[in-house]
A and B are shown apart, each in its own frame.
Chain A
Amino acid sequence: MQKTSSLEPMGLGPDNPGGARVCHSDQRRQGPGMESPQKTEVVLLACGSFNPVTNMHLRLFELAKDHMNATGKYRVIKGIISPVGDAYKKKGLISAHHRVIMAQLATQTSSWVEVDTWESLQKEWVETAKVLRHHQEKLEARGCEQQDSPVLERPGRKRKWAEQRSELNQKKTLEPQRKDVPEVKLLCGADLLESFGVPNLWKREDIANIVGDYGLVCVTRAGNDAQRFIYESDVLWRHQANIHLVNEWITNDISSTKIRRALRRSQSIRYLVPDLVQEYIEKHNLYSAESEERNVGVILAPLQRNTAATNSRTTTA
């Protein structure tokens, strides 16, 4: 399950982020031009309403990236904002079209964080585990394309390198992922971590899937609470090596709920969201008392789906 099993530093424990540079037993096999073998490339994926996106959401990415890079084991290469589809049916959720545009405006000045619309375009609500899988498979497909390049035909050094690579791959067929494909990890705040405890919000197997096969990067002010929550959950405890807790030292409490409330009260949201987002909201008058009433009385999609599943199991039992 541990993705970094082949990257254990000699003589140190597997979870020693401050330790010396990792030694890669396969290092001598790597030819020139390969990606740095010591570090696992990581893509941070954030799922959520982004209703609207705020400076706090954007900060999560920056904090997570700095943290993961500082461990010496990872290199964060991309961040993805994946706004949830309208079928999620959360109270006050405005159309995905606007939420996507605002996220795009918000990430305009970012060199590494981008917006992905796949999830928002699906007609039905998509479980987070499926979104993670979608993005991981995309990365693996891209990795395959690079693998099948005509390097094998070239003589000399490159062929030798290709032969070494195919040896490597044979050794790795038993592992679920190749080291050279970046790993997608779910970026979140402590609220998402603790939402694992809300009945029927998540499928048990999805939680195991998310922390087991992908990993969580959780940014939180209350590190102790998060650690306790992990401790008290068998499935989280089992995969704790895959849960990276990132400390947020300063309180930065810019929630979308507060933004929407401020807008309803004609209060300024400047410096809480990027200027372009504030201008877009103002121009389109996106949030109001009316918009906050959307989906009132409607059951949240995951609750609906998981409760129905539980009921059908009960009745057939």
Chain B
Amino acid sequence: MKSRIPVVLLACGSFNPITNMHLRLFEVARDHLHQTGTYQVIGGIISPVSDNYKKKDLAAAHHRVAMVRLALQTSDWIRVDPWESEQAQWTETVKVLRHHHSELLRYLPQEEGRGQGRAVSPAPAAVPELKLLCGADILKTFQTPNLWKDEHIQEIVEKFGLVCVGRAGHDLKGYISDSPILQRCQHNILLVREPVQNDISATYIRRALGHGQSVKYLLPDAVIAYIKDHNLYSTGSSWKGSSAPNSEGETS
């Protein structure tokens, strides 16, 4: 039996705050990758953006990291990594990918150690692939002029790969055919259909919190408790301005 390629999924974004939809992306992507028969997802990483990103209403990084940590308490395969959030400067997504990829290589298990864990095959340790996990809205932002450097898009898609989960109102195949770079690397872009439409945006949650409305069941209870304890998102951040990205786009 052909051995599967081990994959780690990396999601970048504000996670302002993290929602059940973000968590679903991981679950849906993992199921899809396994179903192809080609991949074995061995881990997931959530990398909240640093405060230097300067997006409107961005809660402090340490809060956003803490909330992700709480949300992942009950997950046995996804973890939060604060490296990006701790950088003094804002870090381009491709650099975050490079960082985590080198970390993966550094901590690669030795050949003798294989076969004890949950490895699918007894073959020699394959180098895990690190793929950028994102929603359809990110793929769309590749089109926005000056938002991404072309060479970055190329490196992200060619060297790492994209796992893109479909969202209502987005034509994933269209975005790919609209971009020569993406079209060239189509084989490295995995499009995942999410049958359960779930448009829980962090913006919606912040607005609801600002209005004093309930957000229960849209994000984990532990995260809601944290938000209340630290009085985050209490002032109405309704329409002070759209979340227009000032540099690279990422999930709201």
Stretch touching chain B among A91-99, A268-276, A301-309: A268-276
* C-alpha spacing A251/B170, complex, angstroms: 14
Q: Are B196 and A254 in contact (CB under 8 A)?
A: yes
Collect the chain A residues with CB atoms within 8 Å of residue B196's CB. Answer: 253-255, 258, 262, 272
* B200 nearest CB neighbor, chain A only: A250
Is A27 close to B, CB under 8 A? Answer: no
* C-alpha spacing A249/B74, complex, angstroms: 28
Q: Are A252 and B216 in contact (CB under 8 A)?
A: no
Is A139 close to B, CB under 8 A? Answer: no
Q: Are B197 and A62 in contact (CB under 8 A)?
A: no
Q: What 1/0 flags go to A107-127 for Cβ under 8 Å of B? A: 001100000000000000000
Collect the chain B residues with CB atoms within 8 Å of residue A58's CB. Answer: 216-217
Output the least CB separation between B159 and chain A (Å).
Answer: 28
Is A55 close to B, CB under 8 A? Answer: yes
Output the least CB separation between A17 and chain B (Å).
Answer: 15
Q: Are A55 and B217 in contact (CB under 8 A)?
A: yes
A-B pair number, CB within 8 angstroms: 65
Answer whether A253 and B198 are a contact pair too, CB < 8 Å, given A109-B221, A275-B74.
Answer: yes
Interface size on B, residues (CB 8 A): 26
Output the least CB separation between B215 and chain A (Å).
Answer: 8
Q: What 1/0 flags go to A24-66 for Cβ under 8 Å of B? A: 0000000000000000000000000000000100110011011
Collect the chain A residues with CB atoms within 8 Å of residue B168's CB. Answer: 251
Q: Are B218 and A270 in contact (CB under 8 A)?
A: no
Collect the chain B residues with CB atoms within 8 Å of residue A62's CB. Answer: 213-217
Is B24 close to A, CB under 8 A? Answer: yes
Q: Are B204 and A250 in contact (CB under 8 A)?
A: yes
13 contacts between A and B (CB under 8 A): A58-B216, A59-B216, A62-B216, A62-B217, A66-B213, A109-B221, A250-B201, A251-B198, A251-B199, A252-B199, A266-B31, A272-B24, A274-B217
Chain B residues packing against A (C-beta within 8 Å): 20-21, 23-24, 27-28, 30-31, 74-75, 168, 195-201, 204, 213-218, 221
Given contacts A55-B218, A110-B216, A254-B198, 6 further A-B contacts (CB under 8 A): A65-B214, A249-B204, A253-B197, A258-B195, A262-B195, A270-B23
Return the 9 tightest CB-CB contacts between A and B, nearest first: A268-B27, A62-B214, A253-B197, A271-B20, A55-B217, A251-B199, A250-B199, A58-B217, A271-B23
